Amino acid sequence: MEFLVETSARHIHLSQEHLEILFGAGHELTVKKMLSQPGQYAAEEKVEVVGPKGSLKMSVLGPVRKETQVEVSLTDARSLGVTALIRESGDIEGTNGCKLIGPCGEVELTKGVIAAKRHLHMTPEDAEACGLKDKEIIGLKVESPERSLIFGDVVVRVSASYATAAHIDTDESNALAPAGTVYGTLVRF
């Protein structure tokens, strides 16, 4: 089975509390573009993310979450001057923080900056067809006209609320040099 491989650029997920501090009381995110994962979208809102060495404007993804999370590549982290631990989305305990600046206020995060672990979202049906289970670690072979790669340490995430697609960050995508839509196949080690 082939899987769509998407590049996940730097972005931020906000809690409702932080959304209102940054954009004003009662503010709701404005949908700019729906993403491949059901119910997920890029919002019109952007936030300035500030670290000891620099800052980057980042898109906000919706809907709001329980906790704020900043997802960056390792190159982005160096530009900001922060250490981004490689973690699965939502696993932010023990991670570093940064400052967020919006049009109406600022938030000083004490945690939440991560470099997302490579992952493959799967529907339960697709996972069963491939003999994969939630949290299993696999390899993903990706063919590209310029460079083909096998990515290791890809975590499988299975849920009925997912669409089957793999996500890599911009550093990983740049190493691949993809042209257009890219697909990958499962590799078992």
- Among 66, 98, 115, residue at a domain's last position: 115
23 plus 87 within the same structural domain: yes
Task: Read off the pLDDT of residues 75-124 as tens digits, 9 standing for 90 and up.
Answer: 999 999 999 999 999 999 999 999 999 999 999 999 999 999 999 999 99
**Domain shared by 111 and 123, yes or no:** no
Asked if residue 164 lies in contact with residue 123, where contact means CB atoms within 8 angstroms, the answer is yes
Q: How far is CA 128 from the centre of its chain?
A: 24
Tokens of 34: 């729906």
A 10 A CB-CB count for 122 gives 26
Instruction: Identify the domain containing residue 136 by its residue range.
Output: 119-187
Q: Whole-angstrom Cα distance, residue 14 to residue 16?
A: 6
4 part of a folded domain: no
Instruction: Read off the DSSP letter of residue 96.
Output: B
pLDDT at residue 25, as a whole number: 98
In a shared domain, residues 109 and 153: no
Domain assignment present for 177: yes
Give the model's pLDDT for residue 91: 97
Contacts of 13 (CB under 8 A, 6+ apart): 60, 61, 64, 65, 68, 69, 71
Same domain, 170 and 90: no
60 lies in a domain? Answer: yes
Same structural domain, 87 and 136: no
Same domain? 56 vs 108? yes
Ranges under pLDDT 50 in the chain:
none
Strand-strand pairing, 99-101 and 106-108 = antiparallel
Same domain, 180 and 111: no
CB atoms within 10 A of CB 152: 12
Residue 101 lies in a domain: yes
CB 75 within 8 A of CB 46: no
Token pair of 144, please? 């590209």
- How is residue 134 written in tokens? 């939630």
120 burial (CB, 10 Å; 0-12 / 13-18 / 19+) is: buried
User: Which of 76, 92, 115 lies at the terminal end of a domain, its last residue?
Assistant: 115
Domain count along the chain: 2
Tell me, yes or no, whether 124 and 178 share the same domain: yes
DSSP state of 133: -
